Structure 1
Amino acid sequence: MSGESAAARAAAHAQDADLPAVIEITDVAPVSVPHRIRGRAWLTGWLTRVRGVDRAVYGALLGERPGGTLLRLEVGEISVDDLWGAEQVDPEALASAEPDPLVHHETEVLQHLAAAHAGRVADLTALLGGRGSAGLTAVPLALDRLGLRIRCTAAGSAPFDARFDFPTPVREVCDLRRAMRTLFAAAAV
């Protein structure tokens, strides 16, 4: 078993006993902003070795080296601490949730907005009322089917986030252009 991960070695020694495990996932903003970590999630549960699987199939899918060990995490609890707050998430609800339609496009769109439309993103601060100011810098931070979140900074004050909801949820990436134009038009008024 040389060359295997510490988790695989521990699972081998545990044999059929439960091996407690925690996986921490960190979500980092794909653009340069102060405090780039958007959130963290912790999955706790038990690792077990998967026996009797077709190694050729799983090896090709997972990039497994010959002789490696396939592990399964049985999730017991999920905790999330992100831009919206901290809470527990039901593992079954997460497993059955539909992915956001923009999940595969978020990084590219945020980087594009930051590089090519920084002025238009900054214009959104006009929608903040008293919190908006001429000296405010705005950078796109997060994007999902419901809206856009930006991080605002000004000299001498702490950064803050502002969320701008789309008029209707975006169902596919093609709807995003219309939703963004609606936001930018509202800021131009």
Structure 2
Amino acid sequence: MSRPGNTTRITDVTDAAQGAADANEGADLTEVRSAHGQPRPSGHEIARLPSAAERTRTLVQSTASAILVIPGLVPDLPELMVPEERIVGTDGDLFLLFPAESPAVRAATHAEDDDLTAVLDITDVAPVAVPGRIRGRAWIAGWVTVARDLPAPAGKVRLRLEVGEASLDDLWGAEQVEPDEFAAARPDPLVDHEAELLQHLAAAHADQVGWLCALAGGAGACRGIPAAAVPLALDRFGLRVRFTGEDGVFDARFEFPEPVRGHTDLHRAMHALFDAAQEAAAAQDL
């Protein structure tokens, strides 16, 4: 069990600065930037985080935007390649709902028994205004067929995407996910409500989120209330906040004492974090 507010400090540094920071005794955890401009773990092991398979499964079943890409197919209306619904079957196959006139449906229908390859490209954008708003991307590649055994609403068709491979590039890093790992994984229990929870924290608890900076650790991590503190990501293990202050922009992740399973657990965990932040701020005379 970790204490409320156990944190990982995540700063934006260059490779050279990272090496210098790691050499210092008691240095904060530093990260380099990904291609999307997001910090990445480097040099230290993070205690608890969702697995790559869980994070990919969570993205698939979230409200993140997605488009089906079929090699050689260039649709006149790209929006017709956006699935209206995404469901993961018990065996890990994806079931994607499209309008009957979608080029994806026509391609799958005409392919019949031929192998029709496709990639579901998912882009995860933070539901709050924050620098570097793209939190990550996932790619689910495999073979598409018409799911004739599953009913669909009138004027719609379900396609089955049999997963051949998956990859993820998000706040935690870039990883490959095997089909059996994806099938066995479960989405984060907060996935259906993460967006509204982050928006609520940003709108109704901005001051309390700002005081979390007092828990970020490291000399000079928080000189008074930061200019901006935005809740960036939330999962059953903790909350990630992006701070803007005198040191520039940096992220800090705040672990919950125990993984949360729903709103009741989350309510208690957030109160524990805010109480710990208030005590830390008072001790630091911020």
Report the TM-score range of the alignment, normalised by the length of the smaller protein.
0.7 to 0.9
CA-CA distance at 1:99 after TM superposition: 2.5
Match of 1:101 in 2: 189
Give the counterpart letter for 2:200 in structure 1. H
Aligned in 2, Cα 1:3/1:94: closer, same or farther, shift over 3 Å? Answer: closer
Is contact 1:101–1:173 with CA below 8 Å preserved after alignment? Answer: no
Equivalent residues of 2:231, 2:242 under 8 A apart: yes
Q: Which runs of 5+ in 1 are unaligned?
A: none
Aligned to 2:242: 151
Aligned to 2:136: 39
In the alignment, which residue of structure 1 is the partner of 2:198? 110
Instruction: Report SS of the residue matched to 1:70.
Output: strand
Kindly provide the CA deviation profile for residues 154-184 of structure 1, in whole angstroms up to 9, marking residues without a partner as x.
3683x22210000111122211111011111
- Residue 184 (structure 1) aligned to one of 261, 265, 274: 274
Contact 1:45 1:73 in 2 (8 A): yes
Deviation at 1:76, TM superposition (A): 0.5
Work out the CA distance in 2 between the residues paired with 1:69 and 1:16. Answer: 18
The answer for unaligned runs of 5 or more in structure 2 is: 1-98, 280-286
Higher helix fraction (1 or 2): 1
For CA contacts below 8 A with separation 6 or more, give which structure has more relative contact order. Answer: 2
TM-score of the superposed pair, with normalisation by structure 1: 0.86
Q: Percent identity between the aligned chains?
A: 60
> Which residue, out of 246, 252, 256, partners 1:162?
252
Q: Are 2:172 and 1:75 equivalent residues in the alignment?
A: no
Secondary structure (helix, strand or coil) at the match of 2:166 reads strand
The separation in 2 between residues aligned to 1:64 and 1:162, in whole angstroms, is 47
CA RMSD after TM alignment: 2.0
Kindly indicate whether the alpha-carbon contact (under 8 Å) linking 1:28 and 1:37 is maintained by their aligned counterparts in 2.
Answer: yes
Q: Distance in 1 between matches of 2:209 and 2:131?
A: 16
How many pairs align? 178
**CA separation in 2, counterparts of 1:69 and 1:118?**
44
1:4 touches 1:69 (CA, 8 Å); kept in 2?
no
Greater Cα offset, 92-101 or 172-181: 92-101
TM-score (norm 2): 0.58
Q: 2:238 & 2:100 partners in 1: Cα distance?
A: 45
Match of 1:4, SS? coil
After superposition, the Cα gap between the structure-2 partners of 1:168 and 1:156, relative to the gap in structure 1 and judged at 3 Å, is closer
Q: Match of 2:216, SS?
A: helix
The 1-side partners of 2:238 and 2:101 are apart by 43
The offset of 1:89, in angstroms, is 1.4
Partner of 1:9: 106
Letter in 1 for 2:212: L
> Is the 8 Å Cα contact of residues 223 and 246 (structure 2) preserved in structure 1?
no
- The alpha-carbon distance between structure 1 residues 39 and 64, as it changes in their structure 2 partners (threshold 3 A), is farther
Q: Which runs of 4+ in 1 moved over 4 A?
A: none
**After the TM superposition, which of the residue ranges 24-33 and 146-155 deviates more from structure 2?**
146-155
**Cα distance, 1:112–1:74 mapped onto 2, change above 3 Å:** same
Measure, in 2, the Cα distance between the counterparts of 1:91 and 1:64.
Answer: 31
Instruction: Name the aligned partner's letter for residue 273 of structure 2.
Output: L
Contact 2:144 2:159 (8 Å CA) reproduced: yes
